[in-house]
A and B are shown apart, each in its own frame.
Chain A
């Protein structure tokens, strides 16, 4: 309920039909006994009325076909298909790229026994064989963490391996049975490669205790945290592998 005499704000609210019935009646009673305020309010009302009349013509413009929502929608769809097409080129599946379906099935069966096998497979494909170019490459002032954060917002930070001479050089997006994954490849000046791999734990929410395992010539350190599984992969029996084993925190 407004007070009497009404404030200027109440008078504006009256002009704009934003008062409830009781308040509106209060204002009307007040205005009936106050010539000056009544003139003021009427002038405002008249300005509003004039403005409505003056601007009503602008509603009658001939239609502009460029503004048809259906057309705009189609245009947007074409644009996003183009974006999707280019993204699809970048996103390739670990289980399709390089290994047979049967092998992939084996991998799934083994996944509990061989944690983060996909991280090692990705290392073989991309770090060792150089299969397909990277999606993201660090230039001099590149920001690998920024690139990774676009896809894995809450994930652990990229480990700083600069003490051992390793710097992140390239990143790749992958799709796995557990969901989208990213691999960042580090390199040292002599060309040794180490990878950081992150992906969701999968539909079974399979979280890993911190561990380490070898598979062929590769070694993986793996762990879970912030809702993702991680692995650091490097060739076994190299100084880099030793360094990763000894690094307590990633």
Chain B
């Protein structure tokens, strides 16, 4: 199955709208991401980038078309199967509030292994405990200080928090990491440094990275940059506000 091995993500004719009657927020004719690729999706905020990531993570499902991740048609999976799929194969980094406030740094990094046997087994395959792997990942991301690793995450700076989130997304070597503007709260120098660390780890684990940002200056660092506006064919072409799906 070349589809499963080569194409990590394959979208065709996928569209999504928050309410049945409203205009779609995401409507993509075709998107293909190859294994090991580092893809930047660039677009202004509110253009539906985050919604696309939710579709790729299987948190939301497209109302039409096909969303295949690692050879699985996500729309065909039941909700719980999608949750398991996400737990096993996908790491996520948010813009902010990535971490569970009442867990220590190390506990936060170990968390994905609590929800996925597959990722735990991968950590343990190398003969190391989950904590060893977490410690090593933190070391690689310049968070090697043992005292720091035992701290509550609320005591960390934003830059440190984002590195912890990156380490967590890479735990157990998932095939795909989705990053939703993780650098927007960092200043210029730190952005590049953070990306370098993230790339190095992705390369080491052969992890595919889809990185969503509004910041074009980072483009040269990526294998490929896709302008979200070119990708997303919304009916009348005008930017769509990301209406809240929250029905409180």
Check if A and B associate: no
